[in-house]
Amino acid sequence: MYVEVALPLPVHRTFTYEVPAGTVIGTRVRVPFAGRRLIGWVAGPADAARDVERVLPVDAVLEPSPSVPDGLMRLCRWTADYYLTPLGVVLRAALPAGLSRPGRRPPASRTRRVLRLTAELPSLTGRDATFGRATRQRACFEYVEAAGGRADVRHLTERLGFSRTVLRSLVARRLAVFEDEAVERDPFAALPSDTGPPPVPTAAQAAAIRAILDGEDGRRPTLLLGVTGSGKTLVYLEVLERVVGRDGRGAIVLVPEIALTPQTVARFRGRFGDTVAVLHSALSDGERYDAWRALREGRRRIAIGARSAVFAPIADIGAIIVDEEHEATYKQSEAPRYHARELAIVRAAFHGAVCVLGSATPSLESWHNVERGKFHKVELPARVGDRPLPPVRVIDLRSAPRGDGQRAVLTEPLVTAVEERLACGEQTILLLNRRGYSSFVQCRACGDVWHCPHCNVSLTWHRSRRRLLCHYCMHEKAPPSVCGACGSDALSYRGVGTEQVEREVARTFPAARIARMDVDTTSARWAHHEILSRFGAGEIDILLGTQMIAKGLDFPGVTLVGVVDADVAMNLPDFRASERTFQLLTQVAGRAGRGPAGGAVLVQTSLPHHYAIACAVRHDVHGFLRRETDERRAPGYPPHTRLLNVVISGADEGGVVRAAVDASGWVEAVIRRTEPGRVVLTGPAPCPVDRIRGRWRWHFLLRSAAPGALGRVGRALATGWQAPAGAGEVRIVVDRDPVTLL
């Protein structure tokens, strides 16, 4: 019998093979392909139009029953089609990597060696005296300190490059000890789950639950617009109680980033125990495969995870929940470039399942769907227990008194507010959405800025590593001593990052216990977890970090949130800059005042009158959505249109320009012939970041209010365009519904 097999190759077609009779769709097979052996999936009956003279038999059928159930295959087909990606590439992304390497399980180690700090060195002068010229010891101490006081030894030595001698010196000087720590195979499995009696839904929650489950139009997705602290999680839990607990169906719960939402996970596990499989990026291939099989075999019926959990192999889905539906992390940044919120809606419709999209700051797209009647809307306008939303006060950086010296990053009112919290034992969150120490190094004489040699972005100064680092390609170099352009030695470090704020905070509040949470302190497995549990246990007074700390945390002890610089995201050349700024400010403000002691928010900004900031200060989500929807109309951005961002890249700049001009001309001809006036081309032009990892980048945009037309043009481009001869090696990426144009 002949079938089509989807292979994980960047070609937009399937391949015909012969399989034993009775082999069903979704079965994994190994096939000979151009002298190689590849793993693929049976995708359907053979294409009758194909030449059947040269059909080869598959090497092996790898499983007795298909790994891809019907409903999942249908979702993968939809994904391939909409996101203009080969089906085999989608299947590979949708299934655990373990399935491509059967039988090999990475061994899980049972204990790990950690370095735990035993001394505190609160004052900078104390630190200078202790470490003197031992800068590596100091850097190591400060890394472990920022990571919450404990760090994996292998991570310190292998990933961060500290020598054993440095670690041993810290131990010899009684600043730290080595300890063996039992490794939980999966810390989420051992989370202290809320086992107490579940809270009784408030009247508002009960109404929301009824509207979601029993609304006459229950088959439309529901946008659950609930202010921060309004108890959206309990609504999700009650929806699942009905769908899974009573009706015995399955469910998927998507969260933006699982390491940042341990509390949400704990609540689901507390309620549904072993029915829940937690899928997250820190799982090893073996662990992921175990979780996946448990779902496939129906031993677990609720999958919780980040975006890829939308592909969980659950046969009978009764509900799909997307928490914080506005989050950019739901968009995958490599092929297939799917948006998990979109797939959640599609998959729920296939299964006749309830679909709930929850947020305090919904995306413009979802809001637009509410206004057009495609989604229905349920609101939770107040916090649980009638706690007020915290008052937000703006500190205008253009006129504010600085703490001390012109380099100070904390203004006097913010310093005073933090001091008050420290005095009464309450906790503070400080947000700065920029990591590193200084975001660029500039020559005072000629103004030259140090750039990455491979990417057109400035290098960020990381003080504790003593390195300039590129945040796009990880290129590192030693700090310069003189300007390469003019030879001057007057260099200034500009643009404050979290590392610098941390030093400033440590200096200003020497007695405070501080932790920093950003990409640099959380690269170890479970590092997020350690910092957050220490914060939850009250062992940290000030938690400082990037947008990581703005999401979903529910810590009643936090009475102050300070935003060090609200303008960071606003200055990016991206059409979502205002939306991101509003969301980030509203979300981080929502971490304050969740307990009986109340709370307050202080926002440092140079743009106090910008509507994104002004609306966040007033907690005015409706006002923001109205205004931003208007702002997007004239330039023709989503939600009024759909976008396709086409990026062409290559090592040779001239070749990239030629290819971009050629591709946009080619696509323009297609539009004229097939969709005249329905799809609009803009560009080509250099991308805002026009070089990454040594590759030049040009792009053009296709936009249309008609998704079908946009899809047809995009498909023609992805499958039909060939780079012109002489352009050299160029790569084309077609990104549908991009979340960023950088």
* Integer Cα distance of 115 and 181 in angstroms: 10
Exposure string of 211-229, with b = 16+ CB inside 10 Å and e = fewer, is: bbbeeeebebbbbbbbbbb
Nearest approach in angstroms of CB 690 to Zn ion is: 12
Omega within 30 of 0 (cis) for the link into 336:
yes
Position among 353, 443, 544, 660 found at the interface with Zn ion (CB under 5 A): 443
Is residue 700 a contact partner of residue 688, using CB atoms and an 8 Å limit? no
Omega within 30 of 0 (cis) for the link into 639:
yes
516 bridge partner residues:
544
Rounded to whole angstroms, what are the CA distances from 641 to 228, 460, 706, 738?
29, 36, 8, 12
Nearest approach in angstroms of CB 229 to ligand ADP is: 5
Nearest approach in angstroms of CB 661 to ligand ADP is: 48
Q: How many helices (H) and strands (E) does the chain have?
A: 20, 31
Position among 12, 112, 377, 454 found at the interface with Zn ion (CB under 5 A): 454
| Paired sense of beta strands 558-563 and 600-605, if any | parallel
Task: Give the residue with the Cβ less far from Zn ion, 13 or 693.
Answer: 693
3-state secondary structure of 25: coil
Binds 199: which of ligand ADP, Zn ion, none (CB < 5-8 Å by kind): ligand ADP
* Integer Cα distance of 374 and 368 in angstroms: 9
What character string, x for contact with Zn ion (CB under 5 A) and - otherwise, covers 480-519? ---x-xx-x-------------------------------
Position among 117, 223, 258, 470 found at the interface with Zn ion (CB under 5 A): 470
* Integer Cα distance of 175 and 182 in angstroms: 22
When asked if residue 452 is in the footprint of Zn ion (CB under 5 A), the reply is: yes
Is residue 40 a contact partner of residue 76, using CB atoms and an 8 Å limit? no
Position among 25, 183, 445, 742 found at the interface with Zn ion (CB under 5 A): 445
Task: Give the residue with the Cβ less far from Zn ion, 299 or 477.
Answer: 477
Position among 455, 517, 592, 617 found at the interface with Zn ion (CB under 5 A): 455
Is residue 329 a contact partner of residue 309, using CB atoms and an 8 Å limit? no
Task: Give the residue with the Cβ less far from Zn ion, 452 or 617.
Answer: 452
Q: Interface residues with ligand ADP (CB under 6 A)?
A: 199-202, 205, 226, 228-234, 384, 554
Task: Give the residue with the Cβ less far from ligand ADP, 86 or 552.
Answer: 552
Q: Which residue, chain included where needed, has tokens 């700049």? A: 653
Residue 232 tokens, joined: 């959206």
Rounded to whole angstroms, what are the CA distances from 295 to 77, 281, 356, 661?
21, 17, 21, 48
* Integer Cα distance of 584 and 566 in angstroms: 9
Task: Give the residue with the Cβ less far from ligand ADP, 255 or 644.
Answer: 255
Task: Give the residue with the Cβ less far from ligand ADP, 270 or 480.
Answer: 270
What is the DSSP code string of 633-695? HTTT-TTSSEEEEEEEEES-HHHHHHHHHHHHHHHHHHHHHHSTTTSEEEEEEEEEEEEETTE
Binds 18: which of Zn ion, ligand ADP, none (CB < 5-8 Å by kind): none
Binds 266: which of Zn ion, ligand ADP, none (CB < 5-8 Å by kind): none
Task: Give the residue with the Cβ less far from ligand ADP, 554 or 675.
Answer: 554
Binds 233: which of ligand ADP, Zn ion, none (CB < 5-8 Å by kind): ligand ADP
Nearest approach in angstroms of CB 653 to Zn ion is: 16
Task: Give the residue with the Cβ less far from Zn ion, 15 or 696.
Answer: 696
Binds 448: which of ligand ADP, Zn ion, none (CB < 5-8 Å by kind): Zn ion
Nearest approach in angstroms of CB 389 to ligand ADP is: 11
* Integer Cα distance of 676 and 670 in angstroms: 9
Name the segment binding Zn ion (CB under 5 A); options: 220-228, 389-397, 470-478, 603-611.
Answer: 470-478
Position among 448, 574, 631, 653 found at the interface with Zn ion (CB under 5 A): 448
Nearest approach in angstroms of CB 200 to ligand ADP is: 6
Torsion sign, CA atoms 128, 129, 132, 137: negative
Binds 149: which of Zn ion, ligand ADP, none (CB < 5-8 Å by kind): none
Binds 524: which of Zn ion, ligand ADP, none (CB < 5-8 Å by kind): none
* Integer Cα distance of 44 and 16 in angstroms: 10
* Integer Cα distance of 696 and 414 in angstroms: 43
Rounded to whole angstroms, what are the CA distances from 79 to 84, 85, 346, 642, 705?
8, 8, 9, 16, 20
Nearest approach in angstroms of CB 226 to ligand ADP is: 5
Binds 445: which of Zn ion, ligand ADP, none (CB < 5-8 Å by kind): Zn ion
Element (H, E) at 115: strand 111-117
Rounded to whole angstroms, what are the CA distances from 201 to 68, 240, 251, 406, 562?
38, 14, 21, 51, 31
How many residues at the interface with Zn ion, by CB under 5 A? 15
Task: Give the residue with the Cβ less far from Zn ion, 50 or 471.
Answer: 471
596 bridge partner residues:
none
Q: Which residue, chain included where needed, has tokens 């991570």? A: 155
* Integer Cα distance of 156 and 58 in angstroms: 47
Report the candidate in 408, 429, 428 with the shortest Cα–Cα distance to residue 420: 428
Task: Give the residue with the Cβ less far from ligand ADP, 230 or 704.
Answer: 230
> For the chain, how big is the Rg over CA atoms in Å?
27
Task: Give the residue with the Cβ less far from ligand ADP, 67 or 587.
Answer: 587
Position among 55, 473, 689, 742 found at the interface with Zn ion (CB under 5 A): 473
Task: Give the residue with the Cβ less far from ligand ADP, 200 or 634.
Answer: 200
Nearest approach in angstroms of CB 546 to ligand ADP is: 20
Binds 493: which of ligand ADP, Zn ion, none (CB < 5-8 Å by kind): none
Phi, psi of 29 (to 5 degrees): -135, 155
Which residue minimizes CB distance to ligand ADP? Answer: 231
Nearest approach in angstroms of CB 330 to ligand ADP is: 17
Task: Give the residue with the Cβ less far from ligand ADP, 541 or 554.
Answer: 554
Name the segment binding Zn ion (CB under 5 A); options: 442-450, 540-548, 573-581, 589-597.
Answer: 442-450
Nearest approach in angstroms of CB 267 to ligand ADP is: 7
Binds 485: which of Zn ion, ligand ADP, none (CB < 5-8 Å by kind): Zn ion
The helix-helix angle for 621-633 and 364-371 (nearest 10°) equals: 90
Task: Give the residue with the Cβ less far from ligand ADP, 89 or 561.
Answer: 561
Is residue 226 a contact partner of residue 360, using CB atoms and an 8 Å limit? yes
When asked if residue 648 is in the footprint of Zn ion (CB under 5 A), the reply is: no
Task: Give the residue with the Cβ less far from ligand ADP, 557 or 738.
Answer: 557
Nearest approach in angstroms of CB 238 to ligand ADP is: 10
* Integer Cα distance of 372 and 193 in angstroms: 40
Amino acid at 355: C
Residue 28 tokens, joined: 């994994």
When asked if residue 621 is in the footprint of Zn ion (CB under 5 A), the reply is: no
Name the segment binding Zn ion (CB under 5 A); options: 88-96, 261-269, 382-390, 448-456.
Answer: 448-456
Nearest approach in angstroms of CB 203 to ligand ADP is: 9
| Chain residues that interact with Zn ion, rule: CB under 5 A | 443, 445-446, 448, 452, 454-455, 470, 472-473, 475, 483, 485-486, 488
